[in-house]
A and B are shown apart, each in its own frame.
Chain A
Amino acid sequence: MMGGPENGQRIGVVLGRREATPLEFWVGVEGEGLLRLDDLVVVEGYHPKVGRVRYFGMVDHVAKAHEGESYDTDTFLAVEGKIPVSLAYVAHVSVTRILPEEFFPPDPGSAVYLAQGEDLELALYYEAMKNQRGSTKLPAGFLKNGEVAYLNLEFLNGVKGGHVNISGISGVAAKTSYATFLLKSLLESGVLEDAHQARVLLFNVKGEDLLFLDKPNLRLSPEAKRDYEKLGLDPGPFRSVTFLAPPKKGGEGILPHVETRLEGVKAYYWDLVQFAQKGLLPFLFADRGGMSNLGYLIVHVTEKLRRLAEGQKGPHLLVSDWPGAELPEEITFDDLGRVRLKSFAQLVQYLEYKLLGSETGEGKGDETWVARQARGTLEAFVRRLRSSVENVGHLIRGDRPGNPPDPLSGSHQVHVVDLAKLSPQAQMFVVGSLLSDLFAKKERGQYRGRVFVVLDELNKYAPRDEESPIKDVLLDIAERGRSLGVILIGAQQTASEVERRVVGNAAIRVVGRLDAAEAERPEYRYLPTSFRQRALILPQGMVILHQPEIPVPLLVRFPFPAWATKREEVLEDNSAEALRREFF
């Protein structure tokens, strides 16, 4: 038997003073009834030619008013007990579903019930979230009534749609918290069937928030634990995480540049041969737009470097066409008469020599390198390269074999890559290099499992009005990634500043607290007015979740992180076992 309104609690009637339509209607709340924003209701309609029709809907406006009183000050009289008033409690319902699909209006006066149990599932299309192999209901938080909110995994894992986009003010919107919660659900709920094969690349852009994903949270309350259990998740930290941070600048050895997490973080960097072989040079040029000559030169030099590095093992780059007379002081020949480039700065010097000729003479650059570009273009190229030495010199090195992050290899499932202490140029370089490498590997079919990439500050990497190589990679991921199994969980403060195609390709959209001006922009028009208004006052831990199948967004509460988000939250494991691991 289908769940009927008889299961739910009667809450009021469809109003006749205002139009009732198949898509929206007003409800008058009866007696002691309680109807709130986001409550789900069901109404039954009947027409002899069609039979029984059920309207499922969500409350998106509620109001109380003194009826029939024409003056605002009449309320004072009512409070003083001088006039009787009639209190009207009304709610506006947006219909989410009609079963069967017969679009005639409900009758005013029809009873309205709270949708519970099966009715709730029907109202939110939960019963349709399945495929041949079973349910695709991915826990995404809690609805207002305390029931679990689901999103259809098939719109996240690339089957019917992919990518998530999260907007919200930084600090209060909890973009990263929600993204990590979604990851937790993806990896551990068991809904994603090949979850053990999935890999996650998480960029840490601010502070060291994500560097404690593998530590239990000291502040996790018993209620929050129950929340996780209700969602079918383990109330604990991520199990398989590796942390990578850029090396500290200067100094002898290579130490990861981290402040609060001292153990278990590895430094990442590229060696010069990797830099040349993988063609990473373009990612040092974020402002390619509008300079086609420079763009051409970048492609050309990248290719030259690639050829130069062919067959070399590194970490240093050997060059044989740098005559001794032209060498800067600190660089020397090796025994085979080749010059050994041992740092990024030296590579830049080499390129300068190749493009502009010797520093002392009036000489011209190497014809095969300059690609007939005007001297101005060559100088612009060299200027930019020189200024990047300070930013990426510690990330691209020739003194030891490179250790770039590779989320597709190793035994860990989640790879956290810290960007927070890098300059903007270096951040661009790391993000661009990693994503293009990852995408290329997936394109070649080198890894079968799905890869989830979490990247905040999309407005920086894929700005709406500028061109850059990183934006190209992100566009590639946004447009072709879902068929290749690369899913972008992107976030930004303002979706209006991000390339439309990147946001537009996200099937799942999430909105945390928004700025008032931002909420009015066209990027958020998919939200009904009441949700846009509420986006301004959303508390922490609440987001608005929009998914393609459900015509209304859901206001969702997600649990407090079960993993630490800073040093102070780490629940220290002082058991003998843990101490032994630490000391031996």
Chain B
Amino acid sequence: MAWRLYSLEPLRTEALAGLGEGPPHLQDSGGSYPFHPLEEPWEAKGAPPVPWPEPLYFVDGRERAEALISDGRRLVLLGCVAAGAVAFAEGGMRLLEPRVRRVGVGLWEPLGLGELVYEPLPLEGGGEPLSPMALQEGLAKARALLEEDLAKGLEGGLLIVDGPVRLRRQGPVLGYIKTHWARYLPEDKEALIPTLRPGERTPMFRVRRGGQELASWYLRLPLPPEGVRPPESGLLRVETPLSPEAKGLADLSLSLFPALASHPVKDPRAPQNLLPVGSLERELSRRMGSRDLVGRILARYLGGG
């Protein structure tokens, strides 16, 4: 039997899988590592402002589930993933050409519907019916792959990625984590966090993940009006592969992230959703095409009407 539309509202399945940001284990998997500080003493640190290195890349991606389709035996998630980069150079931010792909999670061969072509993205498990949750994860993975692929093409400069640092790269890279699912600090050290003022950070500490050693620190972003929200709401955890340059990058991060913090009036995800990244996300969703239009095309080709 041919593919038929099962649901145009896979949002409910998204809800199953967690937040729009993706499932927590992709976001930040901490674990109970032994705490190992990389700087002494354990106290709030500031740093004099330094100019931003050029070029400075921000990479981010987006995913959008567009429909669940079925051939009567199994479900396939049609979705769209996009990744893009913003480069800071010569005093201005500029968008680099983003990449957009339509994928069918669980598909074995491409599915062309009018001007939309969904590339196959088979998942482990062979022909077994997949749960909506697994499909959603597959889409998130496709997005992460696209981001990584894009990031590999960026030469030189400093790369800043949304989420933990996974890719390996010649130049320096910073990852920033906006939501904090895992605990990295013992309770007595955690006491420092609420006392951080905007633009200050904790000393660096070591994080091990998947055979990679990283230096990490928390920093406070400004969140106006100051003093209204709990200090933790402006918190960002930043990490970078452990290297002699880590200290310099940690100090640089104080010139970088607070300046790019978004304002709560303009962005509900302020301050952690950085300004250039917010713009990038808007651009990516624009490039993914109108949700309504895609829905109509899908309904025309697969709606069975």
Contact = CB atoms under 8 A, between A and B. Distances in A.
B93 A81 contact: yes
A83 interface: yes
Contacts of A85: 93, 279
A82 to B, nearest CB: 5
A71 B88 CA distance: 21
Interface string A75-92: 001100111111000000
Contact of B275 (A68, A70, A83, A86): A83
Contacts of B94: 84
Interface residues of B, number: 18
B95 interface: yes
Contacts of B279: 68-69, 83-85
Interface residues of A, number: 13
Interface stretch (B133-141, B157-165, B280-288): B280-288
Contacts of B266: 70-71, 74
A82 B93 CA distance: 6
A68 B93 contact: no
B150 interface: no
Interface string B81-96: 0000010100111110
A212 B279 CA distance: 65
Give the interface SS of chain B, mostly helix, strand, loop or mixed: helix
A85 B282 CA distance: 11
Given A68-B286, A71-B266, A77-B275, A82 B259 contact: yes
A78 B93 CA distance: 7
A86 B93 CA distance: 10
A199 B277 CA distance: 74
Interface in B83-140: 86, 88, 91-95
A82 B56 CA distance: 11
Given A68-B282, A71-B266, A77-B275, A84 B91 contact: no
A6 to B, nearest CB: 30
B95 A82 contact: no
Interface string B261-273: 0000010000000
B278 interface: yes
A82 B280 CA distance: 12
Contacts of A71: 266
B276 A82 contact: yes
A82 B88 CA distance: 8
Contacts of B17: none
Contacts of A83: 93, 275-276, 278-279
Interface of B: 86, 88, 91-95, 259-260, 266, 275-276, 278-280, 282-283, 286
13 contacts: A68-B282, A78-B92, A81-B91, A83-B276, A83-B279, A84-B92, A84-B94, A84-B95, A84-B279, A84-B280, A84-B283, A85-B279, A86-B283
